[in-house]
Protein backbone atom coordinates (compact mmCIF):
# COMPACT_ATOMS: atom_id res chain seq x y z
CA UNK A 1 0.00 0.00 0.00
CA UNK A 2 1.28 3.42 -0.91
CA UNK A 3 1.54 5.95 1.87
CA UNK A 4 0.59 9.58 1.38
CA UNK A 5 3.15 11.89 2.92
CA UNK A 6 1.97 14.50 5.39
CA UNK A 7 2.90 18.06 4.65
CA UNK A 8 5.91 18.93 6.85
CA UNK A 9 6.77 22.39 8.16
CA UNK A 10 10.36 23.66 7.80
CA UNK A 11 11.13 23.07 11.47
CA UNK A 12 9.59 19.60 11.67
CA UNK A 13 11.84 16.58 11.79
CA UNK A 14 12.60 15.36 8.28
CA UNK A 15 10.73 12.29 7.00
CA UNK A 16 13.93 10.52 5.96
CA UNK A 17 15.00 9.50 9.44
CA UNK A 18 18.08 11.71 9.63
CA UNK A 19 16.76 13.44 12.75
CA UNK A 20 17.53 16.82 11.16
CA UNK A 21 15.03 19.63 10.66
CA UNK A 22 13.16 19.34 7.36
CA UNK A 23 14.54 22.69 6.12
CA UNK A 24 18.13 21.48 6.77
CA UNK A 25 17.51 18.18 5.04
CA UNK A 26 15.08 17.18 2.23
CA UNK A 27 12.94 20.34 1.94
CA UNK A 28 14.72 21.79 -1.05
CA UNK A 29 15.08 18.43 -2.81
CA UNK A 30 11.36 17.73 -2.35
CA UNK A 31 10.46 21.17 -3.67
CA UNK A 32 12.33 20.32 -6.87
CA UNK A 33 10.70 16.91 -7.10
CA UNK A 34 14.10 15.31 -6.75
CA UNK A 35 13.41 12.95 -3.94
CA UNK A 36 10.59 10.80 -2.59
CA UNK A 37 10.57 8.29 0.26
CA UNK A 38 10.21 5.58 -2.42
CA UNK A 39 13.25 6.79 -4.34
CA UNK A 40 15.26 7.03 -1.13
CA UNK A 41 14.69 3.39 -0.30
CA UNK A 42 14.56 1.91 -3.82
CA UNK A 43 17.71 -0.01 -4.79
CA UNK A 44 19.84 2.23 -7.02
CA UNK A 45 19.93 0.97 -10.62
CA UNK A 46 23.44 0.66 -12.07
CA UNK A 47 23.49 3.31 -14.82
CA UNK A 48 25.94 1.20 -16.87
CA UNK A 49 23.33 -1.55 -17.31
CA UNK A 50 20.93 -0.44 -20.03
CA UNK A 51 17.27 -1.48 -20.10
CA UNK A 52 15.46 -2.26 -23.35
CA UNK A 53 14.48 1.31 -24.37
CA UNK A 54 18.02 2.48 -23.61
CA UNK A 55 19.48 -0.39 -25.63
CA UNK A 56 17.29 0.66 -28.53
CA UNK A 57 18.71 4.19 -28.21
CA UNK A 58 22.22 2.76 -28.57
CA UNK A 59 21.14 0.50 -31.45
CA UNK A 60 19.85 3.51 -33.38
CA UNK A 61 22.99 5.57 -32.72
CA UNK A 62 25.20 2.65 -33.79
CA UNK A 63 23.23 2.01 -36.98
CA UNK A 64 23.29 5.71 -37.89
CA UNK A 65 27.04 5.92 -37.34
CA UNK A 66 27.53 2.81 -39.52
CA UNK A 67 25.42 4.35 -42.26
CA UNK A 68 27.73 7.37 -42.25
CA UNK A 69 30.75 5.08 -42.63
CA UNK A 70 29.10 3.49 -45.66
CA UNK A 71 28.41 6.93 -47.13
CA UNK A 72 32.09 7.92 -46.85
CA UNK A 73 33.48 4.69 -48.27
CA UNK A 74 33.47 5.65 -51.97
CA UNK A 75 35.15 9.03 -51.33
CA UNK A 76 38.26 7.55 -49.75
CA UNK A 77 40.50 7.40 -52.83
CA UNK A 78 43.87 8.93 -53.79
CA UNK A 79 43.63 12.72 -54.06
CA UNK A 80 41.07 13.48 -51.32
CA UNK A 81 42.19 15.56 -48.34
CA UNK A 82 41.37 14.49 -44.82
CA UNK A 83 39.69 17.90 -44.41
CA UNK A 84 37.26 16.98 -47.20
CA UNK A 85 36.37 13.76 -45.35
CA UNK A 86 35.61 15.90 -42.29
CA UNK A 87 33.31 18.18 -44.30
CA UNK A 88 31.41 15.16 -45.64
CA UNK A 89 30.98 13.88 -42.08
CA UNK A 90 29.73 17.27 -40.84
CA UNK A 91 27.28 17.77 -43.71
CA UNK A 92 25.83 14.27 -43.55
CA UNK A 93 25.38 14.45 -39.78
CA UNK A 94 23.91 17.94 -39.61
CA UNK A 95 21.50 17.26 -42.51
CA UNK A 96 19.95 14.56 -40.30
CA UNK A 97 19.84 16.70 -37.16
CA UNK A 98 22.50 14.68 -35.34
CA UNK A 99 25.67 15.80 -33.56
CA UNK A 100 29.35 14.94 -34.06
CA UNK A 101 30.65 14.06 -30.60
CA UNK A 102 34.29 14.90 -31.29
CA UNK A 103 33.77 18.59 -32.14
CA UNK A 104 34.91 20.56 -29.09
CA UNK A 105 35.47 17.35 -27.18
CA UNK A 106 37.25 18.23 -23.92
CA UNK A 107 36.88 21.83 -25.00
CA UNK A 108 39.51 21.58 -27.71
CA UNK A 109 39.19 18.89 -30.37
CA UNK A 110 38.65 20.93 -33.56
CA UNK A 111 36.96 18.51 -36.01
CA UNK A 112 33.93 16.30 -36.68
CA UNK A 113 35.87 13.03 -36.84
CA UNK A 114 39.39 11.66 -36.57
CA UNK A 115 41.47 10.77 -39.63
CA UNK A 116 44.68 8.89 -38.88
CA UNK A 117 46.87 8.03 -41.87
CA UNK A 118 49.86 5.65 -41.90
CA UNK A 119 52.02 6.24 -38.79
CA UNK A 120 49.25 8.13 -36.98
CA UNK A 121 47.92 5.78 -34.30
CA UNK A 122 44.71 7.69 -33.47
CA UNK A 123 43.10 11.12 -32.95
CA UNK A 124 44.52 12.55 -36.20
CA UNK A 125 42.98 15.95 -36.96
CA UNK A 126 41.58 16.32 -40.50
CA UNK A 127 43.56 18.88 -42.47
CA UNK A 128 45.44 19.52 -45.69
CA UNK A 129 46.97 16.05 -45.97
CA UNK A 130 46.21 14.53 -49.40
CA UNK A 131 45.71 10.76 -49.36
CA UNK A 132 47.93 9.01 -51.86
CA UNK A 133 48.12 5.60 -53.50
CA UNK A 134 49.52 3.07 -51.02
CA UNK A 135 48.40 4.91 -47.87
CA UNK A 136 46.15 3.55 -45.19
CA UNK A 137 43.85 5.85 -43.24
CA UNK A 138 41.73 5.20 -40.18
CA UNK A 139 38.46 7.13 -40.10
CA UNK A 140 36.90 7.26 -36.62
CA UNK A 141 33.28 8.47 -36.38
CA UNK A 142 31.16 9.22 -33.33
CA UNK A 143 27.56 10.34 -33.86
CA UNK A 144 25.20 11.41 -31.09
CA UNK A 145 21.60 10.40 -31.91
CA UNK A 146 18.89 11.39 -29.38
CA UNK A 147 21.62 11.69 -26.74
CA UNK A 148 23.14 8.25 -27.38
CA UNK A 149 26.66 7.73 -28.84
CA UNK A 150 27.68 5.42 -31.69
CA UNK A 151 31.48 5.06 -32.06
CA UNK A 152 33.38 3.09 -34.69
CA UNK A 153 36.42 3.25 -36.89
CA UNK A 154 37.75 1.53 -39.96
CA UNK A 155 41.15 1.51 -41.64
CA UNK A 156 40.78 2.10 -45.38
CA UNK A 157 43.24 1.03 -48.07
CA UNK A 158 43.96 3.95 -50.40
CA UNK A 159 44.42 2.45 -53.86
CA UNK A 160 46.93 -0.41 -53.99
CA UNK A 161 48.95 -1.06 -50.81
CA UNK A 162 51.99 -3.22 -50.06
CA UNK A 163 51.73 -6.82 -48.84
CA UNK A 164 53.18 -5.77 -45.45
CA UNK A 165 50.49 -3.13 -45.11
CA UNK A 166 47.74 -5.60 -45.99
CA UNK A 167 49.07 -7.98 -43.36
CA UNK A 168 48.90 -5.27 -40.66
CA UNK A 169 45.36 -4.22 -41.58
CA UNK A 170 44.15 -7.84 -41.74
CA UNK A 171 45.73 -8.63 -38.38
CA UNK A 172 44.06 -5.65 -36.70
CA UNK A 173 40.64 -6.46 -38.14
CA UNK A 174 40.93 -10.14 -37.18
CA UNK A 175 42.15 -9.23 -33.68
CA UNK A 176 39.05 -7.09 -33.11
CA UNK A 177 36.74 -9.90 -34.23
CA UNK A 178 38.61 -12.55 -32.23
CA UNK A 179 38.03 -10.35 -29.16
CA UNK A 180 34.32 -9.91 -29.94
CA UNK A 181 33.95 -13.66 -30.41
CA UNK A 182 35.89 -14.39 -27.21
CA UNK A 183 33.37 -12.76 -24.87
CA UNK A 184 29.98 -13.76 -23.50
CA UNK A 185 27.81 -12.49 -20.64
CA UNK A 186 29.86 -12.32 -17.41
CA UNK A 187 33.21 -12.67 -19.22
CA UNK A 188 36.07 -10.65 -17.76
CA UNK A 189 37.43 -7.67 -19.67
CA UNK A 190 40.88 -9.34 -19.69
CA UNK A 191 39.59 -11.91 -22.20
CA UNK A 192 39.41 -9.10 -24.80
CA UNK A 193 43.05 -8.15 -24.36
CA UNK A 194 44.16 -11.77 -24.27
CA UNK A 195 42.53 -12.52 -27.64
CA UNK A 196 44.01 -9.41 -29.27
CA UNK A 197 47.50 -9.81 -27.84
CA UNK A 198 47.65 -13.51 -28.73
CA UNK A 199 46.81 -12.82 -32.37
CA UNK A 200 49.16 -9.83 -32.78
CA UNK A 201 52.04 -11.70 -31.16
CA UNK A 202 51.54 -14.63 -33.52
CA UNK A 203 52.14 -12.21 -36.43
CA UNK A 204 54.97 -10.39 -34.62
CA UNK A 205 53.03 -7.13 -34.50
CA UNK A 206 52.58 -4.98 -31.39
CA UNK A 207 49.48 -3.86 -29.50
CA UNK A 208 49.21 -0.22 -28.40
CA UNK A 209 48.67 0.07 -24.65
CA UNK A 210 48.47 3.84 -24.24
CA UNK A 211 44.89 4.11 -25.61
CA UNK A 212 42.00 1.80 -24.79
CA UNK A 213 38.39 1.00 -25.55
CA UNK A 214 35.75 2.38 -23.21
CA UNK A 215 32.22 2.19 -21.93
CA UNK A 216 29.80 4.32 -23.97
CA UNK A 217 26.18 5.46 -23.73
CA UNK A 218 24.86 8.90 -22.95
CA UNK A 219 28.52 9.72 -22.35
CA UNK A 220 31.23 9.34 -25.01
CA UNK A 221 33.77 7.82 -22.64
CA UNK A 222 32.86 6.11 -19.36
CA UNK A 223 33.53 2.93 -17.39
CA UNK A 224 34.54 0.21 -18.02
CA UNK A 225 38.11 0.57 -19.32
CA UNK A 226 38.75 -1.86 -22.19
CA UNK A 227 42.51 -2.43 -22.53
CA UNK A 228 43.55 -4.29 -25.68
CA UNK A 229 46.28 -6.19 -23.83
CA UNK A 230 45.92 -8.52 -20.84
CA UNK A 231 45.77 -5.89 -18.09
CA UNK A 232 45.51 -7.47 -14.66
CA UNK A 233 43.93 -4.38 -13.09
CA UNK A 234 41.11 -3.26 -15.43
CA UNK A 235 40.88 -6.83 -16.72
CA UNK A 236 38.99 -8.02 -13.64
CA UNK A 237 35.83 -6.10 -14.59
CA UNK A 238 32.86 -8.36 -15.44
CA UNK A 239 30.94 -7.73 -18.69
CA UNK A 240 27.30 -7.88 -17.60
CA UNK A 241 24.24 -7.94 -19.86
CA UNK A 242 23.20 -4.35 -20.53
CA UNK A 243 26.75 -2.97 -20.69
CA UNK A 244 27.83 -1.04 -23.76
CA UNK A 245 31.48 -0.54 -24.65
CA UNK A 246 33.91 -0.30 -27.55
CA UNK A 247 36.63 -2.67 -28.72
CA UNK A 248 39.13 -0.67 -30.77
CA UNK A 249 42.59 -2.24 -31.01
CA UNK A 250 45.46 -0.24 -32.47
CA UNK A 251 48.22 -2.50 -33.80
CA UNK A 252 51.67 -1.36 -34.91
CA UNK A 253 54.28 -2.78 -37.28
CA UNK A 254 57.12 -1.75 -34.98
CA UNK A 255 57.14 -0.56 -31.40
CA UNK A 256 53.93 -0.33 -29.35
CA UNK A 257 55.16 2.99 -27.95
CA UNK A 258 53.41 6.20 -29.01
CA UNK A 259 54.16 9.92 -28.97
CA UNK A 260 51.65 12.76 -28.67
CA UNK A 261 51.97 15.78 -30.98
CA UNK A 262 53.05 18.60 -28.68
CA UNK A 263 51.78 21.31 -31.00
CA UNK A 264 48.18 20.22 -31.61
CA UNK A 265 47.82 18.26 -28.37
CA UNK A 266 45.84 15.45 -30.05
CA UNK A 267 47.60 13.57 -32.84
CA UNK A 268 49.18 10.33 -31.63
CA UNK A 269 52.09 8.88 -33.66
CA UNK A 270 54.00 5.63 -33.48
CA UNK A 271 57.29 6.33 -31.68
CA UNK A 272 59.30 4.77 -34.53
CA UNK A 273 57.33 6.19 -37.48
CA UNK A 274 56.16 2.76 -38.64
CA UNK A 275 52.58 2.03 -39.65
CA UNK A 276 49.62 1.60 -37.29
CA UNK A 277 46.12 0.28 -38.05
CA UNK A 278 42.88 0.32 -36.04
CA UNK A 279 39.31 -0.96 -36.17
CA UNK A 280 36.53 -0.14 -33.71
CA UNK A 281 33.00 -1.32 -33.01
CA UNK A 282 30.47 -0.37 -30.36
CA UNK A 283 29.26 -3.53 -28.62
CA UNK A 284 26.20 -4.18 -26.45
CA UNK A 285 26.53 -7.19 -24.17
CA UNK A 286 23.12 -8.86 -24.14
CA UNK A 287 21.87 -11.90 -22.21
CA UNK A 288 22.59 -13.92 -25.39
CA UNK A 289 26.08 -12.56 -26.13
CA UNK A 290 27.76 -9.53 -27.68
CA UNK A 291 25.71 -7.56 -30.21
CA UNK A 292 27.73 -5.41 -32.64
CA UNK A 293 25.85 -2.12 -32.97
CA UNK A 294 28.00 -0.47 -35.66
CA UNK A 295 28.25 -3.04 -38.46
CA UNK A 296 28.05 -1.15 -41.79
CA UNK A 297 25.99 -2.83 -44.53
CA UNK A 298 28.66 -2.27 -47.19
CA UNK A 299 31.68 -2.54 -44.91
CA UNK A 300 33.94 -5.43 -43.97
CA UNK A 301 32.14 -7.98 -41.79
CA UNK A 302 33.48 -10.80 -39.59
CA UNK A 303 35.81 -13.00 -41.69
CA UNK A 304 36.47 -10.33 -44.35
CA UNK A 305 39.73 -10.72 -46.29
CA UNK A 306 41.44 -7.50 -47.35
CA UNK A 307 42.96 -7.56 -50.84
CA UNK A 308 44.24 -5.07 -53.37
CA UNK A 309 41.55 -4.33 -55.94
CA UNK A 310 42.59 -5.52 -59.40
CA UNK A 311 43.78 -2.50 -61.40
CA UNK A 312 41.70 -1.99 -64.49
CA UNK A 313 43.48 -0.53 -67.49
N1 LIG B 1 36.53 8.21 -31.36
C2 LIG B 1 37.61 8.10 -30.43
C3 LIG B 1 37.36 6.86 -29.63
O4 LIG B 1 37.19 5.85 -30.24
C5 LIG B 1 37.77 9.29 -29.56
C6 LIG B 1 38.10 10.54 -30.30
S7 LIG B 1 38.14 11.83 -29.21
C8 LIG B 1 38.76 13.10 -30.15
O9 LIG B 1 37.24 6.80 -28.45
F10 LIG B 1 38.59 14.16 -29.45
F11 LIG B 1 40.02 12.85 -30.44
F12 LIG B 1 38.08 13.18 -31.26
CO1 LIG C 1 35.98 4.74 -28.99
CO1 LIG D 1 36.14 6.06 -32.02
Domain boundaries, the chain: 5-39, 52-292
Q: What is the pLDDT of residues 85-110, one digit of tens each?
A: 999 999 999 999 999 999 999 999 99
pLDDT at 251: 99
Encode the chain in three state secondary structure. CCCCCCCCCCCCECCCCCCCEHHHCCHHHHHCCCCCHHHHHCCCCCCCCCCHHHHHHHHHHHHHHHHHHHHHHCCCCCCCEHHHHHHHHHHHHHHCCCEECCCCHHHCCCCCCEEEECCEEECCCCCCCECCCCCEEEEEEEEEECCEEEEEEEEEECCCCCHHHHHHHHHHHHHHHHHHHHCCCCEECHHHHHHHHHHHHHCCCEECCCCCEEECCCCCCEEEEECCCCCCCHHHCEECCCCEEEECCEEECCCCCEEECCCCCCCEEECCCCCEEECEEEEEEECCEEEECCCCCCCCCCCCCCCCCCCCC
Residues with CB under 6 A from ligand 1: 102, 105, 109, 114, 123, 140, 142, 151, 246, 248, 266, 280
61 CA distance to ligand 2 middle (Å): 14
The CATH code of the domain at 52-292 is 3.90.230.10
245 CA distance to ligand 2 middle (Å): 8
Under 8 Å between Cβ of 158 and 193: no
17 CA distance to ligand 1 middle (Å): 46
pLDDT at 113: 99
pLDDT at 2: 42
Residue 58 and residue 244: Cα distance in Å, rounded? 8
pLDDT at 23: 82
Residue 246 and residue 277: Cα distance in Å, rounded? 16
Q: Which residues of 248-270 are buried (b: 16+ CB within 10 A; e: fewer)?
A: bbbbbbeebebeeeeeeebbbbb
Tens-binned pLDDT, residue by residue, of the chain (313 aa): 444 445 778 888 766 666 778 688 767 766 665 555 665 678 889 999 999 999 999 999 999 999 999 999 999 999 999 999 999 999 999 999 999 999 999 999 999 999 999 999 999 999 999 999 999 999 999 999 999 999 999 999 999 999 999 999 999 999 999 999 999 999 999 999 999 999 999 999 999 999 999 999 999 999 999 999 999 999 999 999 999 999 999 999 999 999 999 999 999 999 999 999 999 999 999 999 999 999 999 999 999 999 998 776 5
Q: Report the nearest atom of ligand 1 relative to the CA of 246.
A: 4
| Nearest-CA residue for atom 3 of ligand 1 | 151
User: Ligand 1 pocket test: which of 105, 246, 258 has the largest number of ligand atoms within 8 Å of its C-beta?
Assistant: 105
The residues placing their C-beta within 5 Å of ligand 3, an ion, are: 140, 151, 153, 280
Under 8 Å between Cβ of 82 and 124: yes
| Nearest-CA residue for atom 4 of ligand 1 | 151
Cα dihedral value 109, 74, 157, 142, nearest 10: 30
Residue 242 and residue 182: Cα distance in Å, rounded? 18
pLDDT at 313: 58
Q: Report the nearest atom of ligand 1 relative to the CA of 140.
A: 1
pLDDT at 35: 54
Which residues on neighbouring strands pair with residue 114, listed in sequence order? 140
pLDDT at 224: 98
| Nearest-CA residue for atom 2 of ligand 1 | 140
| Nearest-CA residue for atom 8 of ligand 1 | 102
pLDDT at 142: 99
pTM of the model: 0.88
pLDDT at 4: 42
Nearest-ligand number for the alpha carbon of 100: 1
| Nearest-CA residue for atom 12 of ligand 1 | 102
Q: Report the nearest atom of ligand 1 relative to the CA of 266.
A: 11
Q: Which residues of 153-162 are buried (b: 16+ CB within 10 A; e: fewer)?
A: bbbbbbbebe
Tell me: cis bond preceding 242? Omega within 30 of 0 counts.
Answer: no
Residue 164 and residue 170: Cα distance in Å, rounded? 10
User: Ligand 1 pocket test: which of 123, 216, 250, 267 has the largest number of ligand atoms within 8 Å of its C-beta?
Assistant: 123
Amino acid sequence: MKETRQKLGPNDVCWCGSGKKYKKCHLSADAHGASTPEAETAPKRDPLLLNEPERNGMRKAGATNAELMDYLRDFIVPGITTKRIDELVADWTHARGHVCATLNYRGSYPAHCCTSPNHVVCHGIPGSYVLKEGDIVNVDLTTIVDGWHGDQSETFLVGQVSEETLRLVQCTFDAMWLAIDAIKPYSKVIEIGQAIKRHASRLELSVVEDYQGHGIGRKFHQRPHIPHFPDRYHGQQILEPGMCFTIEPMINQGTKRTVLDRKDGWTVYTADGKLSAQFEHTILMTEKGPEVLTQPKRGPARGHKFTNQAVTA
